[in-house]
Amino acid sequence: MTRTAPPGRYDRRVPSDTALDVLTRQQNDPTFASVWDELRWRGLVHVSTDETALKEALDGEPITYYCGFDPTAPSLHCGNLLQLLTLRRIQLAGHKPLALVGGSTGLIGDPRPTAERTLNTPETVADWVERLRAQVSRFLSPDGDNGVRLVNNLDWTAPLSAIDFLRDIGKYFRVNSMLKKDAVAARLNSDAGISYTEFSYQILQGLDYRELFRQYGCTLQTGGSDQWGNLTSGTELIRRTEGATVHALGTPLIVNSDGTKFGKSEGNAIWLDPEMTSPYAFYQFWLNTSDADVVERLRQFTFLSRAEIERLERAVAEEPFRREAQRTLAFEVTAVVHGTDATQAAIDAAAALFGNGDLSTLDEHTLRSAIAELPGSTTLPGDADVARALVETGLVKSLGEARRSVDQGGVYVNNARAEDAAARLSDLALPGGVLVVRRGKKTLAGVSIG
């Protein structure tokens, strides 16, 4: 089966495929002489150790590098996606990735600036480790001399005794330096304080880097710039115990231009797991990117070339109403995470909701996901009528107004003009017992029969 991609990005039909299939077709932009130059242009370098030495390392023979992901939830989210794509960019340059899922650090929890984390059970963390390992493996190629290797820090921390931990690792960390870490300092100045458990997190992450250095010759760790204190705890531990210099790279924290936190919609995180955030909702999240943010997102979250992104930047300036950049961004990122088939299904669903497609051709899961995103959507019994549906969904204020709207021809149920305000919903529902109720051209709500 083939799918049609959005206008302005492709002039060909793209096959239905998986996330790694999409990433495998993509290469680093030949415009750039080195992967370091590309990372800089894409705004992915916020802070690093010796920049000259790091650029030389990335431009030279293959190195081993890693990024860690803690199982603090059953899925990764959009913020983690930036790290996964950064790992992939460096892998495309020939370097060897290690993807660490923290079976031990997930039992502890990285200190947040606000309050102590709730400790999850070992069984929960072990389950989440497996879920995250499966997600991470979708974004990094296992093939070739630089295929990804998945590692779990529980493998080397579980055998450690408390005495070994304190004598062999803890003695290399200075409390005065540890107190200066941003999250630790924030907690110390709060009423919540910080437990020794979370205070020790940076020691565990430093141990991870040293273990990967010893086992695999790993010389670069990447992560968010908010993790900089944890990243450098590893570089310092390796310097003190191994007498070696290694590197760290911190990507910027992504914040929307209006100051709101990136990666959330209606207060909820945007997850990579399709059961937690549907492909439809995921696509809509990226489609709703503001003009002020869309070019930066294209640089950071897609593998489009510099020339193509600069063309889209001009389109934003000259014809913002076409939203070509947003449609391209949404297609590219959703295809990477969920594959082109699910992406096209999300596009088809959005078109059908607004009368530009046949709702009956959508699969039930996609349709329900789309309806769930509509404001005012509700559940009603099958013997309820169209007029009640209009009132209960907030499309009109009263039953009288509902009847008048139907009589005037301004109400649609599943894209068909409603002829009778007293028609039973069960007689109009699509397979699966759902309906899309529309007043006018753009005011929509969903109804599930239950």
What CATH architecture applies to the domain 265-363? Orthogonal Bundle (1.10)
Query: How far is Cα 247 from Cα 178, in angstroms, rounded to an integer?
Result: 19
Residues of the chain with CATH 3.10.290.10: 374-449
Give the closest residue to 258 by CA, choosing from 224, 293, 296: 293
Write out pLDDT tens, residues 240-290.
999 999 999 999 999 999 888 888 877 789 999 999 999 999 999 999 999
CB atoms within 10 A of CB 249: 26
Residues of the chain with CATH 1.10.240.10: 265-363
Q: One digit per residue, pLDDT tens: the chain, 450 residues?
A: 333 334 333 332 334 466 677 777 766 677 888 999 999 999 999 999 999 999 999 999 999 999 999 999 999 999 999 999 999 999 999 999 999 999 999 999 888 778 888 899 999 999 999 999 999 999 999 999 999 999 999 999 999 999 999 999 999 998 888 888 777 888 888 877 888 888 889 999 999 999 999 999 999 999 999 899 999 999 999 999 999 999 999 999 999 998 888 888 777 899 999 999 999 999 999 999 999 999 999 999 999 999 999 999 999 999 999 999 999 999 999 999 999 999 999 999 999 988 888 888 888 888 888 888 888 889 999 999 999 999 999 999 999 999 999 999 999 999 999 999 999 999 999 988 999 999 988 889 999 998
The residue whose two tokens read 């923290």 is: 102
Q: What's the pLDDT at 11?
A: 30
Q: What's the pTM?
A: 0.89
Task: Enter the tokens of residue 382.
Answer: 């099958």
Which run of H or E residues covers position 64? strand 64-69
Q: Please state which CATH class domain 44-251 belongs to.
A: alpha beta
Residues in the chain: 450
Binning the chain into helix, strand and coil, the percentages to the nearest 5 are 50, 15, 35
Q: Residue 436 — φ and ψ, nearest 5°?
A: -115, 120
Query: How far is Cα 184 from Cα 105, in angstroms, rounded to an integer?
Result: 16
Q: What's the pLDDT at 18?
A: 65
Q: What's the pLDDT at 9?
A: 37
What CATH architecture applies to the domain 374-449? Roll (3.10)
Please, what is the angle between helix 364-372 and helix 324-353, to 10°? 110
Query: How far is Cα 255 from Cα 267, in angstroms, rounded to an integer?
Result: 14
CB atoms within 10 A of CB 327: 21
SS (H, E, C) 72-116: CCCCCEHHHHHHHHHHHHHHHCCCEEEEEECCCHHHHCCCCCCCC
Query: How far is Cα 346 from Cα 284, in angstroms, rounded to an integer?
Result: 8
Q: What's the pLDDT at 116?
A: 82
Write out pLDDT tens, residues 18-51.
667 777 776 667 788 899 999 999 999 999 999 9
Residue 186 burial (C-beta neighbours within 10 Å; 0-12, 13-18, 19+): middle
